[in-house]
Amino acid sequence: MTAPAVTAVPVHRAGRAPGGLPLLGHVPALFRDPLPFLRSLPAHGDLVEVRLGPQRAVMVCTPELFQHVLTDNRHFDKGGPLFDKLRPFLGDGLGSTPHEVHRRQRRQLQPAFRTEAFGRYLGVMLEEALATAGGWSDGDVIEVERHAYPLIARIITRTMFSADGSSAAVARIASVYPDFHAGIGRQMRYPSALLDRVPTPGNRRFRHACRTVSREVDGAIAARRSARDTTKDDLLALMIGEGLTDREMRDQVVTMLTGGIGTSASALGWALHFLSRDEESADAVAREARAVLPARADTRALTPADIARLETTSRVVAETLRYYPSAWFYSRTVTAPVELAGEHLTPGTPVLLSPYLLHHRPDLYPDPERFDPGRWSPERRAELPRQAYVPFGFGARKCIGDVYALTEITLALAVIASRWHLLPRPGPVLPHLVEPRPWTVIHPAPLRLRLRARHS
């Protein structure tokens, strides 16, 4: 019998991460304080072996290898320990299916994310951002994620599923989604499935959130089918038109909610945090937003060209996603024997990828721990290797909603900064000590900001 072909990617250095513990390997470092651990790995090689308990895994540490793994679908596919934990919640949605199924699903869903579809979304995005910013008072201290989660949840449910702004279903999904997203993060971190069933307060809130999300999504699908409403032009209408079953539709909707709400909400929270520490950038964003955006919720004139004019705001968002990419850590699994950086990988080997790691390499981003929106000027951006900035992944499985997410984050940030000075809350905790909490996304917690109204 002929041995399977082995593919080589030349001229890279393999190494091994130090400090693994007997039986546990590098799991304690990854789960206790993962960000410093990830930043340390490039010093040990371009492809670094780590141990997930007794299992061997490899971490990709260069842009070239990162691109190779994400574009070589013959040898690497969705899978590995992180996706194994996610699949019970996402089912067979776009974010968790193998390559062949994913290709078909992406063709089915792509029309909802084409540029021409954004004219339908911008009005809702602006309306919700104005409503959130307009609900605050001068001197308020806000806990940012308590406002960012509902804002993004309402935008996504309204634009993707044509829900009315006053819909009780929108409100219910928005209210439980922080618990839903936090619960998925805990499930991914738990070393044993037994801990998932312990009736802790967090697990009870998560189970309640799961029931609520499932009930509302199933209800929306059933209502749309029974109404036979052909006037809607949204994701549900698209999926019905493609002949998806109720189960297939449910998996896709939950995937869109899971992949879209927590990621954009955390990015918006971090962007607000960084502006609270950078008065010059905050003032520049405010001036730009006032010059570009409508002052009221009459949003019919807002176009994608207006969003493109928010250049300063876009640079703040780009630097936020460099510093704390929402999809900061994920995995692939080897599906056929392959040689990578001189290492022979057998089927089933987990391959770990971290945009956070790439985005904090000092050889790619000088002074990487400094927040610097100027990195994204056209001149400086042109000097950066294209594969070095991957907040939404790369290749055929790049996030389908990348432009949508950038639009809603940019628009929400511009609206908020145009109306409010964002000030670190006074007290014993210094603003630079806001703790990044890496779960499914890197949360800014606790993050409380004081608001002062802008009058000019």
| Distance, CA of 236 to CA of 249 (rounded, Å) | 8
Residue 129 pLDDT: 95
Coil, helix or strand at residue 126: helix
Is the preceding omega at residue 178 within 30 degrees of 0, hence cis? no
Of 329, 455, 413, the C-alpha closest to 133 is 413
- Give the model's pLDDT for residue 183: 80
Q: State residue 14's pLDDT score.
A: 85
Q: Which residue has the tokens 């994310």?
A: 113
Q: What is the pLDDT of residue 168?
A: 79
Q: What stretch of H or E contains 266?
A: helix 246-276
Q: Which of 124, 409, 415, 411 is nearest to 290 (CA)?
A: 415
Q: What is the CA radius of gyration of the chain?
A: 22
Task: Output b/e per residue, 303-342; b: 16+ Cβ within 10 A.
Answer: eeeebeebebbbbbbbbbbbbbbbbbbbbbbbbbbbebbe
What is the reported pLDDT for 203?
Answer: 85
Other Cβ atoms closer than 10 A to 49: 19
Q: Report domain 18-453's class.
A: mainly alpha
- Domain ranges across the chain: 18-453
Q: Would you state the pLDDT for residue 191?
A: 53
Q: What's CA 274's distance to the chain center, in Å?
A: 18
Q: How far apart are CA 158 and CA 161, in angstroms?
A: 6
pLDDT at residue number 378: 93
pLDDT of residue 206: 87
Q: Would you write out the chain's pLDDT as a tens digit for each of its 456 residues?
A: 444 444 444 457 889 999 999 988 998 888 888 999 999 999 999 999 999 888 899 999 999 999 999 999 899 988 766 666 667 667 777 777 777 788 888 888 888 888 777 777 898 899 999 999 999 999 999 999 889 988 998 898 888 877 665 577 777 887 887 788 778 777 766 655 556 677 788 888 988 988 898 888 888 888 888 876 656 677 888 888 888 888 888 888 888 888 888 899 999 999 999 999 999 999 999 999 999 997 665 556 788 899 999 999 999 999 999 999 988 998 899 999 999 999 999 999 999 999 999 999 999 999 999 999 999 999 999 988 878 999 999 888 888 889 999 999 999 999 999 999 999 876 544 444 577 877 778 888 778 999 999 986
The sign one gets for the Cα dihedral 271, 276, 280, 284 is positive
Q: What pLDDT does 279 receive? A: 94
Give the angle 245-251-256 at the CA atoms, nearest 5°: 125
Q: Residue 83: which H helix or E strand, with range?
A: helix 81-90
Q: What pLDDT, on the 0 to 100 scale, is given for residue 392? A: 94
